[in-house]
Structure 1
Amino acid sequence: MSTAAHTNGFPEGYFVIRSAATGRIWDVSSDSKDDGTEIILWPEKDTSLVDGRRNKSAENQVFFIDTSGALCSRDSGHAVDIEGDKLVLRHRRPVISPYPNSYSHPPAKFVFSKESGGEIQIQFEFDPSYPPPSAAPSEAWKEKTFLLTAIPKRKPKGKMLSSLFGGSHSSTADDLAKSGIDLADNEILDEDLGEEGEVDDSPDTGRDIRMLAITDKKKRDKHLLEKTKMRRTWQIIKLRNSDARTGKFFS
């Protein structure tokens, strides 16, 4: 078995995961180890790729594949899982009947593929919506492709209005009506947003990662904007144990 197959397309050892669209990398929010902590995109804390030279405070931005094939956070050792459409830390939990359920289930499997343009797809052993036992059986989820995307973020509405109305103007509902601007929520997960929905001009440091569930992926891919494709593209950067310039090893 090749290394790529054994590690679901990720490298062996430790690595960071960068969004091609934003340049930010995966980050366990607030450096927390709590169950359910969200994983977001954040600027790199340490740009060194030599493991022994990196700051320990940046370990919440480092990941690895464990022996079971689970994607894990180096900082806590906990697996990465999907909760709704969010990426979260998941502690190992006892089996609770009826199994599987939203609380007790196998962690999602993350698969990186250069051949698909750098996408990270998610594979589930069971329906990820975990319907109750009384629900009618359905295998519709098996026909979907689940993958991860970075989410663009617009300026806060107040700042958008301030710039529109002269910087210090106190905007009102009448102002909005006169401006003709639609201030609906721009954090939409639809892959058919168009150019306006791809604007990412918020001054906030972080960005969100979300899971998309796509039916007929090949057909939809033909109509994607380049910015949308970039949001689904991830770069996996392996950490080294030695300095490439000097050849010196670090433990």
Structure 2
Amino acid sequence: MVPLRSCGSMSVLETFETRRICTSCAEELPKEQFSGSQWRKESSRCKNCIRTTKNPPKITDSRLLDFVEECQRAKEQYKQSQTHVVSEITPWLCLGGALQDGAWQLEKTTHGICAALERNVSPVMKKLEHLLILNLEDKGSEAECLTAFKIAVAFAQKALEEPECKIYVFCALGCNRSAIIVMALLMAVEGLTLDVALKLVREKRPAIRPKYMRVLADFEIELGRECSRPEFLEAPDSKSIGALF
């Protein structure tokens, strides 16, 4: 966050600031995602969160309500506390945020998948010899996510041909974009159902609050299986359901 400076009797943010974290969805977003009045506040809410609060999606399916409540609890309990924590999901697959230092020994990692934008790749992460950058927007299109699943799966399958392969999947916070990529890998590579993959990732990294579950449900069908969490097929669009947590 850019430091505040005084302008008469009012504090304003430096004019060169172009991005900010929404206090509602906890995502770092560009200036155009905020209204002018919200942008001038120190604590700002993006347009999508405000719009969804005024007109939230109506969820009646008890299974979807349980999922939303799980994500709400994760946000309240962990906030961004696990951003710099690396969670081992399987012996070959780890999940986390965009690490800024070498506290975690990267020599243990043979490959990396950045599920966020290229600017989220810190200098320490650029040291990885094999790095795939998916360039997913946090509130991007569902079609882009489905394409990213296929690219990530192909990358992981090739990586796993090497002995002692270990892949680190990360985004900005390690709770949404990277989580869905990890679940897609578990489904395609390990053969897990979406239901089992979600439970495993939540167990290993309780801070997750993935928005793109509808895309993962479609991906499970595309893998030639019956969807194990059919409620996600009928869920509101990812942006709407994500704004609830």
Query: TM-score of the superposition, structure 2-length normalised?
Result: 0.28
* Structure with higher strand content: 1
Higher gyration radius (CA): 1
RCO greater where, 1 or 2, for CA within 8 Å and sep 6 or more?
Answer: 1
